[in-house]
Amino acid sequence: MRLVITGGGTGGHVYPALEVATYAQEESDLLYLGSLRGMEASACETRGIKFKGFASEPVYKVTSISGIKALARLFQASMAAKKELKIWKPDIVFSTGGYSSAPIMRAAKSLGIPLAIHACDTIPGRSLRMFSDYAGIVTSTFNETTRVIGPKAKRTGHPIRTELRQAVLNKGHQSPSQASKKILIVGGSGGAKFLNDNIPAVAKLMPEVEFLLSTGKAQYNTYMHSNRRALSRATCHD
């Protein structure tokens, strides 16, 4: 089977799609289509998944000049994606949504290629809502998603990263002396400035706890250098 997977811009769409891709590539010829702007290119490279990117970007406000330019780029990306799908000839396209998936889903619909989508958010984003009627299969992480998409959406749960599942299994094998109080703080795949600003101070007040703060790649160096003293009880990761 030939399979195209798409979804992204941000990790909330990329990593669930990659988890599905990891299993699918064992029995399928796989291609991941996404944006050049998002994080999917580097994530695919890390996992050894073939990737093709297009110059798409999110549309924050349609009536603004930047919004019109973004729409134009999405249209161009859709045309490029259509050419790629004609060459690849996939049996199905699987999408987890996000702005980078819209051109690929639009191209798949125009070519009559079957589409399956998974909604990771309680309220699916605009891209998934636009193509949910066309999709032959719609799955979701939350039951509440049916309020937006309708009864067509079937809850299957969320694709959890292999690394996270393994970490939970490893924790169960720790001895009491190895187990300590740990807190993981995640502000989304890009990080959250509010958390990055305040967690180091919180960590100083709780010396008995080990903090793991996901700062986001773009903010990692800034917070590691400007908060080095406060971060003595917190570890930052990008």
- The pLDDT tens digits of the residues spanning 61-93 come to 666 777 788 778 888 899 999 999 999 999 999
Residues 116 and 27: their CA atoms lie apart, in Å, by 17
> Taking a C-beta distance cutoff of 8 angstroms, is the pair 18, 42 a contact?
no
Q: What is the mean pLDDT of the chain?
A: 82
Residue 173 lies in a domain: no
Which sign, positive or negative, has the C-alpha torsion 169, 170, 175, 180?
negative
Which amino acid is located at 50 in the chain? K
Number of domains in the chain: 2
**Same domain membership, residue 51 and residue 104:** yes
Residue 165 lies in a domain: no
CATH number at residue 72: 3.40.50.2000
**Same domain membership, residue 144 and residue 77:** yes
**Same domain membership, residue 233 and residue 197:** yes
Cα–Cα nearest to 77, from 42, 39, 36: 36
pLDDT attached to residue 227 = 54
**Same domain membership, residue 222 and residue 149:** no
Residue numbers of the domain that contains 57: 2-155
Residue 162 lies in a domain: no
pTM for this one?
A: 0.75
**Last-in-domain residue among 120, 138, 155:** 155
Q: How many CB atoms lie under 10 A from the CB of residue 237?
A: 13
**Same domain membership, residue 83 and residue 29:** yes
Q: Tokens 């080990």 identify what position?
A: 210
Q: Dump pLDDT digits (tens) for 89-143.
A: 999 999 999 888 999 999 999 999 999 999 988 888 888 999 999 999 999 999 9
Residue 167 lies in a domain: no
With 0-12 / 13-18 / 19 or more C-beta atoms within 10 angstroms meaning exposed / middle / buried, residue 223 is buried
Q: Tokens 């600003």 identify what position?
A: 197
Distance between alpha carbon 188 and the CA centroid of its chain, in Å? 10
**Same domain membership, residue 185 and residue 113:** no
Which sign, positive or negative, has the C-alpha torsion 16, 18, 20, 22?
negative
